[in-house]
Amino acid sequence: MGNIDLTGRVAIVTGAGAGLGKNHAVELAKLGAKVVVNDLGGSRDGTGAGQTPADDVVNEIKAAGGEAVANYDNVATVEGGENIVKTAVDTFGKVDILVNNAGILRDKSLAKLDENAWDPVIAVHLKGLYCVTRPAFLNMKANGYGRIISTTSAAGLFGNFGQCNYSAAKLGIVGFNNTMKLEGAKYDIKTNIIAPVAATRLTEDILPPDMLKKMDVKYVTPVVLYLASDQCQDTGMVFNVAAGYLSRSAVMTSPGIVLKDDENTPDKIAEKWNEVTSMDNSVYLKDLNDFLMAMASAQG
């Protein structure tokens, strides 16, 4: 074993019956964590349910000598989220690590995006984040320790045709995390986000076959394991990860311009538009106060 050792830690992985979540759960267990393998067991669009995916992953972890328990709750309900955390506390005594990973897709262009494609996607990704994270956060707060890793997407960070619902839910996760990082700081709760790209049933008909071949889920999990460990001291960050590529994305703010009262006209703004839109010398602001201070100092 290397330096990252999760012996004695208790981890929850949502949507751990397949794809990325399955690999996270198996590898967390290999590093010594006791794992709650949550999965509703439905189809890619969120319909249906079944216990086999979670059970199979638990059996795989146990066969390799690890400790795991299955949970089949829906992350998108308050009761489901509470049950997932209760499974961890009842079985293993606490929650140290939460990997918010469960996800579905209902892709439609905005023109065709009816409520049936909007509501379930927001429910699983965004309400699901709230439903599971809140009870887990309460346990971590009481213990004075926690590591939370949530899953956003390049579709939310950058945009992707046909995914307004998914993009909104996924960037909502970043907004949630921007505030959670502040509320968790005092309790050593570090909470970060990954934006993965990997070959799973979610991407099998979205990414080109050549690209899929290079995008095994195994390339995504190592950064999750690092973020899940006590060695990780960063919080509130977003990491892009795929096929050995690892980078950070952040909302950056340009120096902007300051308009005197008599300059604050549409014509003057048009004249200075290149200065407004330029991202040269932009900075990362870690919270709302940082932003207010940056604005005040620009105003002089």
* Residue 146 sits in the site that holds ligand NAI (CB under 6 A): no
Cβ–Cβ < 8 Å for 61, 25: yes
Q: Which residues, numbered 187-206, are part of the site for ligand NAI (CB under 6 A)?
A: 196-198, 200-203
The residue (of 145 and 171) whose beta carbon lies closer to ligand NAI is 171
Question: Which one of residues 11, 61, 75, 238 is an interface residue with ligand NAI (CB under 6 A)?
Answer: 75
Q: 145 catalytic, yes or no?
A: no
Catalytic, out of 145, 166, 187, 226: 166
Question: Which one of residues 33, 102, 140, 238 is an interface residue with ligand NAI (CB under 6 A)?
Answer: 102
* Residue 225 sits in the site that holds ligand NAI (CB under 6 A): no
* Residue 71 sits in the site that holds ligand NAI (CB under 6 A): no
Instruction: Pick the stretch among 13-21, 27-35, 109-117, 230-238 that binds ligand NAI (CB under 6 A).
Output: 13-21
Instruction: Pick the stretch among 98-106, 233-241, 272-280, 286-294 that binds ligand NAI (CB under 6 A).
Output: 98-106
| Nearest-angstrom CA–CA distance, 69 and 54 | 9
* Residue 153 sits in the site that holds ligand NAI (CB under 6 A): yes
Instruction: Kindly give the interhelix angle for 164-184 and 115-122, rounded to the nearest 10 degrees.
Output: 20
Question: Which one of residues 61, 76, 98, 174 is an interface residue with ligand NAI (CB under 6 A)?
Answer: 76
Min CB(106)–ligand NAI separation in Å? 11
* Residue 104 sits in the site that holds ligand NAI (CB under 6 A): yes
- Residue 51: Cβ within 10 Å count: 14
Min CB(43)–ligand NAI separation in Å? 8
Q: Which are the catalytic amino acids?
A: 166
Contacts to ligand NAI by CB under 6 A: 14-15, 17-21, 38-42, 44, 46, 53, 74-76, 101-104, 124, 128, 151, 153, 196-198, 200-203
